[in-house]
């Protein structure tokens, strides 16, 4: 598929290989859910205790809580 991708659009190749032009990311999200949960737990205390001011958070679009990331 990668080799052919230079000559044909990738949605066309995806359909030829899988029978569908849609990609379902649900299995990937489920696979990485434990890692995602762990990262949210680890970063939650950092985000709460960091020295970012509210103005900095707004300017750089940094969430106040790790749960806001999702």
Cα(20)–Cα(23) distance, integer angstroms: 8
Cα(57)–Cα(63) distance, integer angstroms: 7
Q: Which residues of 40-69 are buried (b: 16+ CB within 10 A; e: fewer)?
A: eeeeeeebeeeeeeeeeeeeeeeeeebeee
Q: What is the pLDDT of residues 11-66, one digit of tens each?
A: 888 898 889 988 888 999 999 999 988 888 877 766 655 565 666 666 666 665 55
Please state whether the predicted TM-score (pTM) of the whole model is above 0.85. Answer: no
Tracing tokens 């995806």 back to the chain, one arrives at 14
pLDDT (0 to 100) of residue 13: 86
Contacts of 5 (CB under 8 A, 6+ apart): 13
pLDDT (0 to 100) of residue 5: 62
């Amino acid at each position: 598929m990668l080799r052919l991708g230079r000559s044909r659009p990738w949605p066309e190749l995806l359909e030829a290989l899988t029978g569908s032009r849609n990609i379902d990311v649900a299995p990937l999200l489920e696979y990485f859910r434990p890692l995602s949960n762990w990262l949210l737990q680890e970063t939650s205390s950092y985000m709460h205790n960091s020295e970012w001011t509210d103005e900095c958070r707004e300017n750089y679009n940094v969430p106040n809580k790790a749960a806001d990331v999702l």
